[in-house]
Structure 1
Amino acid sequence: MKSIHLTLICHARTEAQRVGRFALDDDPLRDPPSPPIELATTPRCLCAPELRARETAEGLAATIDEGLRDCDLGTWKGLPLKQLGARELQAWLADPQATPHGGESIAALCQRVAHWMDSALGEGEWIAVSHPLVIRAAMLHALAAPFEAFHRIDVPPLARVCFSHYGQWRLQLG
C-alpha cells in the first residue's frame, strides 16, 4: 500500500471574495501571500490552472493540474451573489445535483475531486494550491460525508488542510 501525504492550500484572497461575487478564471489576487508560501520540506507541488491559484503558488515550482480546477459555475461566473435569484441560489444550496447556472453540480465536483485524489497522486508528500470549493469536496471525500454537508464547510484564503492516505483517506488536524 502506498502512503500519501497531501496538503491542500486555498488560494489567497481575491477581489471577488471581498465584494461577494463568483470568480472569473483570470481574476488576480487582491492580497498576494507575503511572504510567499514557505514549506518546511520539499514535496511535489501542484496547482489549479486559474490565475489566482497560480499566483498563490508562485515560488513553489508547481505543476498545473486540471484536476484541481475550480467548480464550473457556468453563467454565474463573475456575478455578485446579490444578483442571483433567491430561488436559483436556494436550489443550488439545497440540491447537490442542481445546476441552475448551467455548469458543474456540487455532486459532479465532489466526484471529480474524489477521482483525482484516488488516482492522480503517487506515493510521497504533495502540496496543492486550489480553491475553497475543491477543498470542501476533498474534505467530504476523506470523511465519506454526504454531498449535502458541502455548504457547511468554510475554507478561508490560505487555509491549509492536510490529508493522509494509507488504505483510505484521513483528514489530519494539526
Structure 2
Amino acid sequence: MIGKTKELRLRFREGREAEKTVCRPLFLMADESETMLARYLDRARLFVAESEGVRIVASALVTDEGGGVAELKNLAVAPDLRGRGVGRRMIEAVREACAGRFRTLRVGTGAGTPTVRFYEKCGFREVGRIPEFFTENYPEPIWEEGVLLCDMAVLEMPVDPAESNEADESVESAPL
C-alpha cells in the first residue's frame, strides 16, 4: 500500500497490468485521443486509488523517460470526487513510488489552463513549453474550461521533497 486518505477511505497502490482495461474510461477523461493514449499506455506503470477496496476512483500512468526522469502521462479522478484532494494525493503516491529510481517527475498539460495551477499547487514548476503541441498532435481541437489548447506547458518537480526545499532556498537567496 502506498498511502491512504482517511476522509474518503481511499487506498493508493500500484495497479496491475490487467486493470488498465478497467481504467480506460478514466484515461480517456485525461487524454481524449485513443491514438495518443496508445503511444504510452503499454510502457506506462499504472497507479490507482480505490474506494473501499472496490471501485477505482483515480488513475495515473507514469513512464520512464530516461535520465532519471519519470513522466506523469495521465492523471484522472472520477468526476464525483474531483476537488477533494484525490488528485493531489495521487501525485504524492506517485512521487513516493518514484523515490530511489528517479530524480525528476515531469508532466505536460495545456498552457494557460487551470490544470497548470493545479500542478503548481502540487509542487511542480513550469520549465518550458512545446509550441502548437495540441494543434499538431490531436485530430480535433481540444477545449479545457473555455481555453483552446495549443501549446503544452512542461512542468517538473524533484522526486525527493528535500530537493524541492533546497531549490526554494536557492531561488530565495539568489542575488537580484
Do both share a fold (TM > 0.5)?
A: no
User: Which gives a bigger RCO, structure 1 or 2 (Cα 8 Å, sep 6+)?
Assistant: 1
The structure whose residues are more often strand, as a share, is: 2
What TM-score does the superposition give when structure 1 sets the normalisation length? 0.33
